[in-house]
Every structure is written in structure tokens, then in C-alpha cells.
Homo-oligomer: A and B are copies of this chain.
Amino acid sequence: MAHDDRRLRVLRAIVQDYVSTNDPVGSKALAARYDLGVSPATIRNDMAVLEEEGYITQPHTSAGRVPTDKGYRFFVDRLSAIKPLSAAERKAIEKFLDGAVDLHDVLGRSVRLLAQLTRQVAVVQYPTLARSAVRHLELVPLSTSRLLMVLITDTGRVEQRVVEVPVDTEAETVAELRTLLNTAFTGAKLGEASDKVGDLVDNSAPHLRPLVAAVSATMLETLVEPSEDRLVIGGTANLAQGSALDFPGTFRPLLEALEEQVVVLRLMAEVGPSTVTVSIGEENEHEALTAASFVSVGYGSGDQALGGLGVVGPTRMDYAGNIAAVRAVARYVGHLLAES
């Protein structure tokens, strides 16, 4: 119908205008700026309907309209065309991420890049250990009863733990152990390694058994929370921008929630690769995020995401732009990790 169609255009215009100006938008301003082909009075009628249906609301009687969470949701689902990044932006991404020396560096650069592109807070998760494969497992004797286990994965994560071994060990024994463990685990996904441990212990030489058990146990421990999950956060300064406007009274809780990491990690747990997830305002369960939106996507070359990344900002954000940026950075990070 012509009417419905126009109403959608009105909603889109309201969202766009409000996102860029941060002022409640009135019928007159809309008519002036968006060339909708109808008069302010008609727009007013449409706005009344949109308000009735819950897509927009008035902060107070004599003010313009502001999109509700439902309005943003509708906008994101139906109205926004993904705007491709400009050539300059693509180039910037490449330039920014090239020359990273290790995983830490890759993720650090990504988070800064993403924060800069979107002018929001960016979060990047380290590759999940469970979905990473063992590249090498190193044992360094600290004393006769303590070993330092260093686990190197194909995604570039390195985890280290001190293992207290139940019996005194000598250098040769350690060497044996190292060979044994590497033969068994190299190339295996860590999430599936636990299945192998039982057999491995049973089949190893008696004098090695307690050692194999101790080291394996420690290795599997690296998979459990909270050390398993790590997050890099950047661009919090962007939040400070209009904090009083966008997060009245919830600015501090929001920063706390970000630092807590748990909240963000939980949100990120659901992301799949190449499908951008957007959760808007009240859709977020955590109270501190009810005034914020979270745009996230998984990265990784395969069909399963190695980790997630995204941006957090006010519900009043440039969804189209942020979705594009998040997706582009995820793709580059996926490539970078695959080729190293």
C-alpha cells in the first residue's frame, strides 16, 4: 500500500534524523529535510499511527518524536541497506592491520581500528581456546617437582600454567613426556582433547602416567572460565562524548559492565560467523546495557566462529555503518588468523 510504504519512509527518516542530530524530530523538520512529497500535516498523521504502534514516542507533549527500541529494531531488520565501506576505508583497514606481529597485536589493532571507524566502544574477543587446535605443547622444568606448561595454539594464543608434578622428574623424563604429549595432541582441537586423555594415560609407560595425567589435567583447566575468555576493549573515550545525553545515570554502570567482561562475553557467546547480530536497548538482559545497543559478529575462516567482535554504543547509533564496519573488520581478522 502506498500508505504503509510512506510510513516506513517516515520511520526511516525519523531514525536517520535523530541519529545524526540527537534532537527529537518534528513533522516540519522532517518535511523540510527529507522530501517525502507530503505536507507536515500528513506526516503528523503518520507519526500518530507510528506512535500508536509503538515505533516512536514523545519525550514530552510538546516535543518531536524519538524512535523506540522497537522502532530501531524495525529499522535494522527491514529498512537499512548495508552500506558498503568506501575504498578509503577498506584501504585504511588493510593498512591498519597489516604489520601486526602477533595475536595480541592483531587484536589490539583491530579494537582500535573498530573504535575509530565507528566512534563507539569496540570489543574483540580472543579466539576461543576450545575451538583452537594445539600447535605445540612445551614443558620447561622449573624444579624437579614443578613444570611450566606452555600451550601454543594455531590461532596464536599462548597459555601458560605451572604444573605441580606428583613425582620428581629429570630432564630426560621431561623430554619423553614432551614428545609423547606433542605426538598425541598436536593438531587436535582443544575442545576435543579431553576425549583423548583417558586413553593416553592408559597407554603410556607406567613411570609417565602420573605426569601425563597432571599435565593433561592442567591443559584442560585452561579451557574453563574465566581464564578461557579474554577480551580487548577500546574506545571507551567515545562513550564519554555524549555520556550525559545518551546514558543519563547509567554511564558508570555501563563502564563497569564493560570492564566486568562477563556481560559482553555472554552476549558474544551467541554470535555466529558472518551473521551480524544486533541487540538493541531493552533487548539486552543486563540492566546496564538497556540504554545501549550491541552490534557483533563472529570471526574465523571456518563455519564455526573462533571468537567474536563488535561495538557497543547508544541505541541512537548509525546501525548501517556500524554493521558494515564490524563485518569488514571481522573478515580481515579472520583472514589474518588463518594465514599465520
Contact = CB atoms under 8 A, between A and B. Distances in A.
Interface of A: 101-105, 135-136, 138, 140, 148, 150, 152, 156, 158-162, 227, 230, 234-237, 240-241, 243-244, 251-253, 255-256, 259, 340
A254 to B, nearest CB: 8
B148 A150 contact: no
A60 B234 CA distance: 39
A252 B234 contact: no
A102 B340 contact: no
B251 A234 contact: no
B156 A152 contact: no
A87 to B, nearest CB: 28
Q: Chain A's interface: helix, strand, loop or mixed, by majority?
A: mixed
Contacts of A161: 101-102
Instruction: Kindly report how many copies of this chain are found in the complex they form together.
Output: 2
The 6 closest A-B CB pairs, nearest first, are: A237-B255, A240-B252, A237-B256, A136-B140, A138-B138, A158-B158
Contacts of A253: 237
Contacts of A251: 240
A102 B241 CA distance: 36
8 contacts: A101-B162, A103-B160, A105-B227, A136-B140, A152-B160, A158-B158, A236-B236, A236-B255
A56 B230 CA distance: 46
A240 B255 contact: yes
Contact of A162 (B159, B227, B236, B340): B340
Contacts of A235: 259
Nearest to A252: B240
Nearest to A255: B237
Contacts of A152: 138, 140, 148, 150, 160
Question: Most chain-B CB neighbours within 10 Å: which of A140, A235, A237, A255?
Answer: A237
Contacts of A150: 136, 138, 150, 152, 158
A162 B337 CA distance: 13
A183 to B, nearest CB: 13
Contacts of A230: 104
A227 B135 contact: no
A104 B103 CA distance: 15
B159 A102 contact: yes
Contacts of A159: 102
Question: Most chain-B CB neighbours within 10 Å: which of A159, A160, A256?
Answer: A160
A150 to B, nearest CB: 6
A253 B238 CA distance: 10
